[in-house]
Amino acid sequence: MAHKGGFARAQVALQFDQRAAGGRAPGQRLRERCRGRFVGPGNVFYNQRVSASNSLSSHQFVSQIQTWARELGFSQIGIAGVDLSSAEPGLSAWVAAGFHGDMHYMAAHGLKRARPAELIPGTVSVITARMDYLPASTAAAPGEWQAMEFSRLERPDEGIVSVYARGRDYHKILRSRLQKLSERISEHVGEMGHRAFTDSAPVLEAELAARSGQGWRGKHTLLLNREAGSMFFLGEIYVDIALPPSEPVTPHCGTCQSCIDVCPTRAIIAPHKLDARRCISYLTIEHAGAIPLELRPLIGNRIYGCDDCQLICPWNKFAQRSALPDFDERQGLTGQQLATLFAWTEDEFLRFTEGSPIRRIGHERWLRNIAVAMGNALRVLDEAHSLPVRAALQARAAGSGELVAEHVNWALGQFDDKNGL
C-alpha cells in the first residue's frame, strides 16, 4: 500500500522468478513444492527444506534482509504470517456497506485480500517493506513541514497536489527495488518463489504491515510508525520460505482523534472506519464520474489527493525525508496557479506528468478536479484575483466533454452566486 493520502492503484505488480521456476507458471512451483505439507490453521504451508534450516529461518537472516533492504532505499522490513482471518469480518462489513465506492476491484476478489495463501498458493511468509517519501524541500523544515503544507491550503488560487505524488511514480520505484530484494534473497537461499506487490492487487497491505511490526493502524486507517509517522509507501513480497514473524507494536493514538476532526468531508466516520465515497483522495483520483455537488465546496484547492489527516497527526513531526531523490518535488506540479494548470492541453498534461502517478487519472479528470478548485476559489477571491480564474474557465466552457463542461459551469456559477448574478 502506498501509504499516502490517496487510493491510487496501478496495474498488478506481479513479479515472479520465472527463471528459477524452470518456465512453469507463477504459483505452480510453489504448489508443487508445498503440496501435502499442511501443518496448522490458516492454510499455512511450510517449505520443509527452509524450515529445517536454522540458518534460513533465523532472526539473523531477517536482519540480513533488513540490511539489503536499506541498501535499496527501504526504511524497514518486517515479516508477517499468512493467517489474516481475524481481519475478514471487518473487510466483509466494509465492502457490504458500500464504503469502497466505485473501486469494484476491492469487492471482486472477495476474501482473497485476507488470504495470502489463496491469492498466491504456496505462500508461507510475507515480507513487508516501508519506504519514506517526504521530499527534500518539505523535510528541510523539520517540525514545521505540516504547518507549511496547511498554509498552502489557504491559497485558494493555487492547486495542491498530495505530497506523495509530487515526485516520480512510486509504483515503479518500489516494484523494481522489491524485485531486486527478492533476487538478493534468492541468491542466498537458492530457488525461491515470490511475487512483489506495490499498492496493487487484492492485498491487505496496511494489515500485513501492522502485523509485521511496521507500526499500528491509526484512526484514519493508515499505518503509523513512532519514528516515521505515516509518510511512507508500503510494499510486500509473498514468498514460499518460512521466516520468523516480526512482533507487532502497540497502538499509540490514545484519545487523540485529530484526524477525524480535521477531515474536510467527514470521510472518517468512526475510528478506523473510512467511507471512501467521501474521501477527497478517492474523489480526485479513483472516482471517474461527476463529483457530488454537496462535496465540491469541501474539496477546496486540493486537485489530486488530500493529506489533511496526515498533516494534523502529531506523529508526523517525526516523518523522515526520503533516502531517494526520486520523490523530490518535480517542477510544474507544486506551487502552480490553478489557471496555469487548467490551461494545459492534453499533450502538455502528458508531458508534465510523465513518470508521475498523476498521469493515470487522465487529462479529463485532471481538468474536472481543477474546475472544482477554481469554483471554490471564485467564492473567496476578490474581483481582481477572480479575473484570470474566470477567464480560464470561460475558455474551457465551449468544446469540452460533458464531464468537464458540467464542472466548469458549476465553477462559473459559484462566482455568479457570490455576486447575486
SS3 (DSSP) at 133: coil
Q: Smallest Cα–Cα separation from 187: which of 51, 20, 21, 26?
A: 20
Q: Is residue 308 among the annotated active site residues?
A: no
Q: Write the Ramachandran bin of 198: left for phi over 0, alpha for psi from -120 to 50, otherwise beta.
A: beta
Helix axis angle for 170-189 and 59-71, nearest 10°, is 140
Distance CA 421, CA 419 (A): 6
Which of 132, 169, 199, 307 is flagged as catalytic? Answer: 199
CB distance 87 to 131 below 8 Å: no
Distance CA 180, CA 209 (A): 20
Q: Which three cell numbers stand for residue 306?
A: 488530500
How many helices (H) and strands (E) the chain has is answered by: 20, 10
Distance CA 177, CA 125 (A): 19
SS3 (DSSP) at 132: strand
CB distance 13 to 197 below 8 Å: yes
- Rounded to a whole number, what is the distance in angstroms from the first to the last CA of the chain? 47
| Catalytic residue ranges | 199
